[in-house]
Amino acid sequence: MSKICVTAHANDFAACVTGIDLTQPVTGVLSDQLRAQWLRYQVLYFPDQPMTHGDLERFTESLGPFGHDPYISPVPGHPNILEVRHEPDEAAIPFGSSWHSDWSFQAAPPNATVLHAKVVPPIGGGTHFADGVRAFETLPQALRRAIEGRRAVHSARRPYSHEGYRAGGKRTSMRITPSDDAWQTQCHPIIRTHPESGRQSLFLNPVYTLGIEGMDADESSQILQELFEHMLQPDFVYQHRWTENMLVLWDNRTVMHSAQGGYSGYRRVMHRTTVAGSVPV
């Protein structure tokens, strides 16, 4: 059996994995090894994996059952694969370009997101990732005291309510269906304990987090702003660059991400799956 090779980036946040063929089933010891590396580095990327839809589905299911993806129509015939597409002549801002974690407004947001690059522009179009574990571990005392034991209110209303969707401008190449469901809210602890590693992290993001539960609105937005500034300092961010057929897997419980633009005139196409998660504690 071949051994996987893992090369970590700065501060042990994000790692490159080679010596594995994701067009083949990942099972047994290999699957356990991969899970351990994923929990440790939070973001793993695998260059040169020319995977089919079926390969992507099988790999995703080796990590757990599929998550539920609302508001966006899947790839025809593949209910668990979404296509993230941006056409060369498209004026709309890229999908996912504000900092967020995926579906944090759900009662049990996904554990993982898997993104597979099909068409990569020659310039721009990277993805940035922010380390929520390190952000928690370095949080100034006063800020930590302000949020300890608190929950945040999450909702999909900004991007996916009819009103929010209209205000955000049309995304022509993505099949998005806004809904009144997006007005629902869901509270989650701000300091989250990872159910597998036991590590604590900050679980918040500027797209879906509306405020801090039971706190005066001005104080809440002030604290959120300070938290986001802290979480997004350059030293906590890994700037990922894509090549065709690269697969990236991230821990959606501890990481925020944002899609980068800078490739107008070029096409970018990614395929995406999620792995179901548990209620944050």
User: What does the binding site for Mn ion look like in residue numbers (CB under 5 A)?
Assistant: 96, 102
Residue 132 site contact among Mn ion, ligand OGA, none (CB < 5 to 8 Å, cut-off depends on kind): none
Residue 154 site contact among ligand OGA, Mn ion, none (CB < 5 to 8 Å, cut-off depends on kind): none
CA gap 222, 199 in Å, rounded: 26
Convert residues 92-111 into a mask of x (bound to ligand OGA by CB under 6 A) and - (unbound). ----x-----x---------
Shortest approach of ligand OGA to residue 215 CB, angstroms? 28
Shortest approach of ligand OGA to residue 56 CB, angstroms? 13
- Which of 84, 42, 78, 85 minimizes the C-alpha distance to 61? 78
Q: Under the criterion CB under 6 A, does residue 253 sit at the interface with ligand OGA?
A: no
Q: What is the SS3 assignment for 251?
A: strand
Please say whether the beta carbons of 72 and 178 come within 8 A: no
Go through the chain and tell me how many residues it has.
Answer: 281
Residue 101 site contact among Mn ion, ligand OGA, none (CB < 5 to 8 Å, cut-off depends on kind): none
> Which residue of this chain has its Cβ atom nearest to ligand OGA in the complex?
96
Residue 67 site contact among Mn ion, ligand OGA, none (CB < 5 to 8 Å, cut-off depends on kind): none
Residue 84 site contact among Mn ion, ligand OGA, none (CB < 5 to 8 Å, cut-off depends on kind): ligand OGA
Q: What is the SS3 assignment for 182?
A: helix
Shortest approach of ligand OGA to residue 11 CB, angstroms? 21
- 17 contact partners, CB below 8 Å, separation of at least 6: 4, 5, 6, 34, 37, 44, 45, 46
116 forms bridges with which residues in the sheet?
Answer: 247, 271
| Token reading at 243 | 């090549």
Q: Report the b/e string of 39-76 with b at 16+ CB within 10 A.
A: bbbbbbbbeebebeeebbbbbbebbbebbebebbeeee
Residues 29 to 88: which contact ligand OGA by CB under 6 A? 84
Q: Among residues 159 and 211, whose Cβ is nearest to Mn ion? A: 159
Shortest approach of Mn ion to residue 196 CB, angstroms? 21
Residue 249 site contact among Mn ion, ligand OGA, none (CB < 5 to 8 Å, cut-off depends on kind): none
Q: Among residues 96 and 277, whose Cβ is nearest to ligand OGA? A: 96
CA gap 67, 80 in Å, rounded: 8
Strands 5-8 and 15-18: antiparallel
DSSP string, 140-178: -HHHHHHHTT-EEEEESHHHHSHHHHHHT---TTS-B--
Q: Among residues 220 and 258, whose Cβ is nearest to ligand OGA? A: 258
Q: Among residues 102 and 251, whose Cβ is nearest to Mn ion? A: 102
Residues contributing to the site for ligand OGA (CB under 6 A): 84, 96, 102, 113, 115, 127, 257, 259, 270, 272
